[in-house]
Structure 1
């Protein structure tokens, strides 16, 4: 005997209204590749190779009832190359498919797409749901599709013969030189046809072989990019033992000239000469010698020769050091700018490593009588220098001139202060302020840096917010606590001069930590999540944020009504202290699954076991609202509507299962659609009707489709259907997926 649901569901609804979180849900299936309808193709793509010339792809998406809200949007999202959706990329968004259970998304590959593990998913906005994740796919956007050019060190010069000779034990670097933003790509390097492990735009090698490279756009896309480079053959040869023959002398006077010569000559090789690592004689065939003159300015240094040629490796010799016989140093001991205060003197001096030096001091270019020592005391302004003459050694007398010291009277001083160490406002927990520079201005308006010689001569007083800081009288001030935050300046005094600096703000982090917590992290209907902190907010200014957007809330605790990242920011001592994040996520109703569809049909006297999964606990109710099981499984043998309430954390989900006894009549082949209320509709057994996974298709005599419906409701033909004749023949096909269950004819008699 059949029973009907006439009570109980209202009681369940009442329970929900009393605060139980319930959910019923749509099923969002994983998206799958689809053929491009604009190309007339019927074959779905298996990998994506997008480019400027072609970048249009489709995926098919199916979902199941109930219907979503009219304001819903379906969003197609792409993972990263490893399949992670931590930062999903939106590919497409549609708002007009809320009544279509099977449709296509169109998308273009982002230009930075490169990898073999990309996945898709679809997200709905109302209700908030996420589909099953798709399979992984190889996807590449080919934005560089020209042959790569490689050269030594990427210098842009391809060897004319395509060959580079390298000495045994040495290495050579080959690199692409014509690829913009070369580091943005993945490469495949080859040696004599064998793929190497290097994947960057350059490779350093020490083995012989024929080297080339191409862009790695994956197994399916690389060939179409046409990026294979030129080839460079690397040959490993034994070194020739290149050296510079021992010169006749290595210490030169000003009238000396020597010739440096390579030890391997007469073979048509090319020679390049270097001094201190820089070329002094460009590459020349048989240029095996170099002349060095002691009269040339700066001739002193380390000399090398580099040799290259057919059949030999590029080789550079060890260095030969050439010195000056009259070489000595003159060093100025005092700063080059000296401030002379009124009625005072300053001492200028030099040091030298000459063996027997003599000295002569000059003021404004004129020799000072009697100033023939390494030191001189001055009391007048002017430009001072000294000449030092070496009177001993193997060469005739050699004279050198020191740097010039400018001595001036000051008209004014300027002092700047700065942070001594790395400082970031509201991040640093300590800082030192210091005198960064002292500049003197002379009578002509010239500014002279006198920091080194006058920094310790001034007396100092630090101020905070224009108030004297007790005990702060040094050139440096150390601040270690947020209570010292403020604006600092410095007053400096020397003789009759008093200098006030500009102000420098200091805002230190207090080092305090603020922690917030919640009594739940999953948001669903009927569940209240409270976010709070143990930090004392009394008298503090604070703000709550959701996804970095300020909330219009001024209470010490808040109720989370949206998913997202929540934070608390408290302002103290001029700095915001930012708490940890509490992440609230939406409840995923799809976690609860049944192993059967929601409409069960079986013969009377038999039963069906229904298994649920994905929840923490389960409660099954019959039509009378009787709790008939608390197991995840239940055996159903009687007709009726059964409700499962599954709990996961604080959230609950409901699932409905309808049991009907299998109809015993066969599929009718005649319908008398005359409006008399008898046999007006084509009613088929419940084995096929009202089944979400069964599709009913009806065609007219011309083979035209007049009905294509899943979950057929025994409601054809409709009153609006037009008939071309009184007795009309139709054909039907009943399918489950790609499997045909039944097919035949229907005669409709009007």
Structure 2
């Protein structure tokens, strides 16, 4: 603001025609529309609980994508078009039904054009009103990045796929490229509820030529083949959650036990992925993870001539270390196949040697001792 004296003299005082000598000046830092409640028009809280409405801040935060990028800004919050006293932050905790919205507080320069979207908030005794929406509709045709599933607003979230918890999926939204039944447990602050969506893609059919549970002889193999009507499909085979290098054909020859799966991707038209799991065990091998032998023999007279371990630990994601009583590391491998000690490698004389093992796997760590006898 520039003030010029009509007499040409500099004056430190100022008075307008109403006799006011001071007044506030506001700089409109942000002059675009903005949103609350992740742009969703409804929200639910538990009776007796509360819900937090917040200025929406897109990710990545692209200035000036949201007033939330300007921490100096203050806000006015409204319920049913009536200003809520004492609320000026970028969040508002609500515990009564109504229609809420926010406005950037520019004092006398306020403009309704700089107000947020309106959100209808309701209460629920059981939180049973959880819904899930798909950004690309349902069925969806993926553009390569997937469709974003968004749940009814709450305080905490946990997403699941076909009943299994999705690790790290604890935000209100979850993006996926795979058709499946997705559920989300929503904590409304006092009660919880679950929403479900049977997400379908413009899908394809795929099947394996083997059942989900398979058993092969020791030293044998199993040829697994995918049959699919996907357009220009690609394949990737996995042992556990680790991709098998070079295994990208529609057929894979399995020769070791473990939990396998193949991921089929349709790269033409709608980009869709599908996973087919199956398990392979060795006939006659120890079925229980609890039964790890602690005595083996270097002669043929004893049932265990080699130190064996359960199939659950025979995969690329499990490591086995064997240490002598002197502290020497005698074995350090992944995907151990029950072939220690090599025949004739240990000569037992007067004392039965003792070794110690450490197994690291997806389910944790197991330790124990191994005593060798004649």
Bucket of the pairwise TM-score, normalised by the shorter protein: 0.3 to 0.5
TM-score by length of 2: 0.36
Structure having the higher Rg? 1
Q: Normalized per residue, which structure has more strand?
A: 1
TM-score by length of 1: 0.19
Q: Determine which structure has greater relative contact order: mean sequence separation of CA pairs < 8 Å that are 6+ residues apart, divided by chain length.
A: 2
